[in-house]
Amino acid sequence: MAKKLVTLTVNGETHELAVEPRELLIYVLREKLRLTGPHVGCETSHCGACTVDLNGKSVKSCTVLAAQADGAEITTIEGIGKPDALHVLQEMFREHHGLQCGFCTPGMITRAYRLLQENPTPTEEEVRFGISGNLCRCTGYQNIVKSILAAAEQMNAMKEAAE
Amino acid sequence: MKDLDEREERRSALKGLGCSRKRVEDVRFTQGKGHYVDDISMPGMLHGDFVRSPYAHARVVSIDASKALALPGVVAVLTAKDLEPLSLHWMPTLAGDKQMVLADGKVLFQGQEVAFVVAKDRYIAADAVELVEVEYEELPVLVDPFEALQSDVVLREDIKDAKEGAHGPRKHHNHIFTWEEGNAEATEQAIGAAEVVAEEMIYYHRTHPCPLEPCGTVASMDKVNGKLTIWGTFQAPHVVRTVASLLSGIEEHNIRVVSPDIGGGFGNKVGVYPGYVCAIVASIVTGVPVKWIEDRMENLMATAFARDYWMKGRIAATKEGKITALDVHVTADHGAFDACADPTKFPAGFFHIVTGSYDIPVAHVAVDGVYTNKAPGGVAYRCSFRVTEAAYCIERMIEVLAIELGMDAAELRRINFIKKEQFPYQSALGWEYDSGDYHTAWDKALKAVDYEGLRKEQAERVEAFKRGETRKLLGIGLTHFTEIVGAGPVKNCDILGMGMFDSCEIRIHPTGSAIARLGTISQGQGHATTFAQILASEIGLSADSITIEEGDTDTAPYGLGTYGSRSTPVAGAATAMAGRKIRAKAQMIAAYLLEVHDDDLEWDVDRFVVKGAPERFKTMKDIAYAAYNQAIPGLEPGLEAVSYYDPPNMTYPFGAYICVMEVDVDTGEWEVRQFYALDDCGTRINPMVIEGQVHGGVTEALAIAMGQEIAYDEMGNCKTGTLMDFYLPTAWETPNYTTDFTETPSPHHPIGAKGVGESPNVGGVPAFSNAVHDAFRAFGLRQSHMPHDHWRIWKIAQSLGLHQ
């Protein structure tokens, strides 16, 4: 199959890649760029384990073609925080036991990262609605919701302190 | 007082038992640095994919792989014919049956593995699957176990004439086994003589564990040194190594099995699947690594269903409600092959815990296993072996009996509970319950939810409904469950002949930190966090200074793995026992260093202290260093220990769950208004982790009770093969839970812990289901089968004439 050249800016780094037109973004990220944070849980866009941030929107990268993402800015879990500078969400998920097996976690945090930019002061109901495209089999969501609300609070406090 | 404070300070610095220690695993998981099997990539690695049967029952007339093999990038297409010379076209199951690895002459369920394509990447493999031409000749399909037992259609032609199966005589060519426990005669007598008898068929439908990460493996045969390495989603890596050795003929020391991070298991990852066998064979043949990862549809259709038990219960009682007997007959649909994951001697698992939390003088159970044209499996989906079926059965039967008696179901439970002073309690079906205090837990639960107030509100709601003021009913779902977890003991329990002990090996490093390796494997339970806590309290080193490792058979001691809530009861016990061996040697070293007799020392949190002279002591850190740098007469250098723990009995966690649910009569919609979960898992290691386990387990129970099922049509087509049809709750409809506890330690476990991971699923399912039933009790509902999706609830209301 003839390949197509695409340019993806992932976590701030620009890559030129030759991909098959049918190649899914998730496999390009995982197998070509070795960003194995986003996972494949269903391949039908139900579970959200593959969630990444694409041009400022949460997308399920198992149902986006890499060719469609040509020229896009993409953020994966690997770009959200660094070992010596974790994102507040990453800290709060640990603090409030918002994860167990860890398989949904990268997608969940990546979704929450966008959600809190869309709505920096969400109610519990808004968080529950906002992450309803991301499934978790381990936690029953209660502590995930708690983690996201705690992160929102901290981020707002930090913002206030900076102003 | 100052001494006490100082001691408490030292104790809390250890982050040992009882501490809500933050999880060490989370640091990598939150950064996307978990390492799951599909993350493995190796040079030259090939990808495997299956051609699967579209039919539930058909003869395979021919397989033509020529077009697939002609596709550039395709390396091989394996069929049963290729595996036959290696005797690998069939494989043994955990239940004493055998299962086709690749279709051998016929297919027996939709989605069955027919051919295995090996190609250079996953896209080419998927293309090649489409190019393999298989000709089938359809055969009559049996999806109903009752019909299967009457039908002339033979499903398993390979054993058609076998009068004996792995578990005794077979009554019919589609019959697998009959298994019985208890006293049939005495039970019949008691039922015959009873004042009240309630009888009901309770169906616990077929469902699936569906962890978010599907099953998969990477097999790598290194032909240079003759070593086979298998990474995979294995809840029991050591058993996989033994099985791989027995099947392949490769000596066990030349096989290394590694379970990397596992994205949830819930029983799905206990068994050995055709994909593992095919990937291993393909790697042995090609000499390069071969990866096989199933997709979600393959996961739901082919690997490890759970439940599918038709339970006919009869419960007898006096007019006052004292239960006098219980009889249960189960028709168990096992699908095409008997691949249940149960200890060898127990083809129906521990279903005979079905007397539950109640003191029932006589009881009898019989289980008939049946073949049908459905996927094989029968795994314990977040429960100990068949325990959730048992708990659901008795908790429904209690409700039915309450209706029969016109009694309050909470009171009926209370008057039949096993009393605190009866423990250790011998059940009529042969178990010895280790410890419990059911009345205390029950009273605490009823008080916490204001049970009387709820009943009053419910009665008012019924009246308002009758007056036409509301279309919503209120259900109060009660459950008091007793689990049985932590298999062994070895004398009763084995998997493929391997006794169900578990193990821990500890090495203390000279500078006072440590590594401990266990025979279990975490799939999200947080073993790296909690096992370090057990050890911290035993040996007096901070949990932060202890690394826990599991899942690599080259380094970890042999163990039977993680399922059936056995990690804490068995491997947790091994950890404590190995820790005590460390402490025993440390005491001798301390005695030498302090120039006193061993007996003159006492243990104090993190140190040995000379009795009566508290200023003279050696901390575990001092001792660790001395173990490596001093020549101590009569003692070997170093500080290491290993324990293989064979538990004397199982543990019996229990709990009281109450669900308050609003049900809309016209739409069948439901909303959980309140869910209270009281768990007694004995000694509590990490309350934060326990709470997390309860949240997750109850949510899986919510899924099962309220919508999740593996359903087939009459042609044997699986109707629930994607997450569009197979229900996983989202954050939106999942409620918040209130957790609570009592603490009744296990008398035989070294630290008194009982295990908790599966309790919430065992207790949750009847709590949700009983709430639905209870909402309609006032209108005459007695029994309606799960899952209680909106349509089925609507049908209940319709059948009771509640729609205008």
Residue B182 placed within a domain: no
Contact partners, residue A125, CB within 8 Å, separation at least 6 = none
Bridge partner list, B362: B325
Whether B3 shows a pLDDT value over 90: the answer reads no
Please indicate whether, in this complex, the C-beta atoms of B123 and A138 are within 8 angstroms of each other.
Answer: no
Residue of A nearest to B213 (CA): A41
List, in sequence order, every residue forming a beta bridge with B506; answer none if it has no partner: B516, B641
Enumerate residues 6+ apart whose C-beta is below 8 A from B69: B76, B77, B128
Mean pLDDT for the stretch of residues B16-23: 97
Closest residue in A to B29 (Cα–Cα): A102
Task: Residue B378: count other Cβ atoms within 10 Å of its Cβ.
Answer: 34
Element at B456 (helix H, strand E): helix B451-466
Last residue of a domain, one of B253, B281, B302: B302
Of residues B295, B238, B219, B92, the one with CA closest to residue B563: B238
Chain B closest CA to A146's CA: distance in Å?
A: 11
Select from A138, A139, A146 the residue whose CB has the most chain B CBs within 10 Å, as the one to mutate to test that interface: A138
- pLDDT classification of B1: cutoffs 50, 70, 90: low
Shared-domain flag, residues B670 and B731? yes
What phi, psi does A25 have (nearest 5°)? -55, -40
Residue B594: its H or E element: helix B573-594
Taking only the tens place, the pLDDT of each residue in B157-210 is 999 999 999 999 999 999 999 999 999 999 999 999 999 999 999 999 999 999
Both B246 and B361 in one domain: the answer is no
Whether residue B804 is predicted with pLDDT greater than 80 in this model: the reply is no
Mean pLDDT value across residues B672-690: 98
Q: How much is the CA Rg of chain B, to the nearest whole Å?
A: 28
Q: How far is it, in rounded angstroms, from Cα B336 to Cα B111?
A: 12
Judgement on whether residues B541 and B639 belong to the same structural domain of the protein: yes
Say if residue B60 is exposed, middle or buried (CB neighbours under 10 Å; 0-12, 13-18, 19+): buried
Choose, out of B21, B31, B523, the residue to mutate when testing the contact with A (most A CBs < 10 Å): B31
- Tell me: the pLDDT tens digits for B368-392? 999 999 999 999 999 889 999 999 9
Q: According to the model, what pLDDT value does residue B693 have?
A: 97
Put simply, whether B43 touches A (Cβ < 8 Å) is no
Smallest Cα distance from B73 to chain A, Å: 12
| Same-domain check for residues B42 and B7 | no
User: For residue B713, what are the β-bridge partners?
Assistant: none
- Our separate counts of H helices and E strands in chain B read 20, 35
Amino acid symbol at A110? T
One domain, residues B289 and B312: no
Domain of B67 in residue numbering reads as 37-139+214-262+269-302
Angle between helices B620-629 and B573-594 (to 10 degrees): 70
Is position B721 within any domain?
Answer: yes
pLDDT of B585 higher than 80: yes
Cβ(B758)–Cβ(B176) below 8 Å: no
Nearest CA to B507 out of B495, B517, B497 is that of B517
Q: Do B31 and A93 touch (CB under 8 A)?
A: no
Do residue B122 and residue B219 come from a single domain? yes
A140 close to B699: Cβ distance less than 8 angstroms: yes
- The angle, 0 to 180 degrees and rounded to 10, between the axes of the packed helices A142-162 and A88-95 is 140
Is residue B172 in some structural domain? Answer: no
Contact A49 B264 (CB under 8 A): no
Taking residues B443-458, report their average pLDDT: 98
Does residue B54 lie in a domain region?
A: yes
Q: B464 with B567, same domain?
A: no
Q: Which residues of B are marked as active site?
A: 235, 382-383, 758
Within 8 A of B27 by CB-CB distance, chain A residues are 94
pLDDT confidence of residue B73: 98
My answer on whether B325 and B457 are in the same domain is yes
Q: How far is A52 from chain B (nearest CA, A)?
A: 12
Contact state of B696 with A140 under an 8 Å Cβ cutoff:
yes
For residue B248, give the amino acid letter: S
Query: CATH number, domain at B222?
Result: 3.90.1170.50
> Which runs of E-coded beta strand occur in B519-572?
546-550
Q: Does B631 touch chain A (CB under 8 A)?
A: no
Residue B140 has pLDDT above 80, yes or no: yes
Task: Give, in order, the Cα–Cα distances in Å from B547 to each of B231, B544, B573, B670.
Answer: 21, 8, 17, 45
* pLDDT reported for residue B484: 96
Give the CATH number for residue B748.
3.30.365.10
A142·B736 Cβ contact <8 A: yes
B19 and B43 share one domain: no
How many residues can be counted in chain B?
A: 804
C-alpha distances out from residue A32 to B56, B100, B280, B307, B414, Å? 38, 36, 25, 41, 62
**Is B692's CB within 8 Å of A136's CB?**
no
Q: Which position has the token pair 């070992």?
A: A83
Give me chain B's average pLDDT, please: 97
Which of B568, B512, B492 has its CA nearest to residue B755? B568
Residue B370 CA to chain centroid, in angstroms?
22
Judge if B636 and B756 occupy the same domain.
no
DSSP reduced 3-state for B139? coil
Q: How far apart are CA B654 and CA B742, in angstroms?
A: 10
Q: Could you tell me if residue B378 is inside a domain?
A: yes
Beta bridge partners, B46, equal B290
For A98, which residue in chain B has the nearest alpha carbon?
B692
Flag the least confident range among A107-116, B47-56, B491-500.
B491-500
CA B54 to chain centre: 30
Whether residue B533 is found in the same domain as residue B609: yes
Mutate: best of A11, A103, A123, A128, partner B, most B CBs <10 A:
A103
Total domain count for chain B? Answer: 3
Q: Are the CB atoms for B500 and B531 separated by under 8 Å?
A: no
Judge: B723–A145 Cβ closer than 8 Å, yes or no. Answer: no
Mean pLDDT of the region A112-139: 98
Cis peptide before B488 (omega within 30 of 0): yes
The shortest CB-CB distance from B26 to any of A77, A94, A145 is to A94
- Give per-residue pLDDT as tens, B77-126: 999 999 999 999 999 999 999 999 999 999 999 999 999 999 999 999 99
Measured in whole angstroms, the distance separating CA B433 from the mean position of its chain's CA atoms is: 20
DSSP state of B558: P
Beta strands in B112-226 (DSSP E): 113-119, 133-138, 164-165, 168-169, 175-182, 196-207, 216-222
Instruction: Calculate how close chain B gets to A41, using CA atoms only, in Å.
Output: 5
The letter for the amino acid at B419 is K
Question: Residue B181: inside a domain, yes or no?
Answer: no
Spell out the domains of chain A, with CATH numbers in brackets: 4-79 (3.10.20.30), 88-158 (1.10.150.120)
Domain assignment present for B191: no
Q: Which amino acid is at B231?
A: W
**With b meaning 16 or more CB within 10 Å and e meaning fewer, what string describes B676-697?**
bbbbbbbbbbbebbbbbbbbbb
Reported ipTM exceeds the 0.90 cut: yes
Per the CB < 8 Å rule, is A97 touching B692? yes
Helices of type H across B37-172: 66-70, 80-83, 122-131, 145-148
B649 — contact with chain A (CB < 8 Å)? no
Let me know whether B368 and B351 are in one domain: yes
Q: Select the residue of B27, B266, B732 nearest A129 (Cβ to Cβ).
A: B732
What is the pLDDT at residue A163?
86
Among B601, B595, B579, residue whose Cα is nearest residue B633: B595
Q: Which of B605, B625, B645 is the last residue of a domain?
A: B645
The answer to whether the Cα torsion of B350, B353, B354, B360 is positive or negative is: positive
Note whether residue B201 is domain-resident.
no
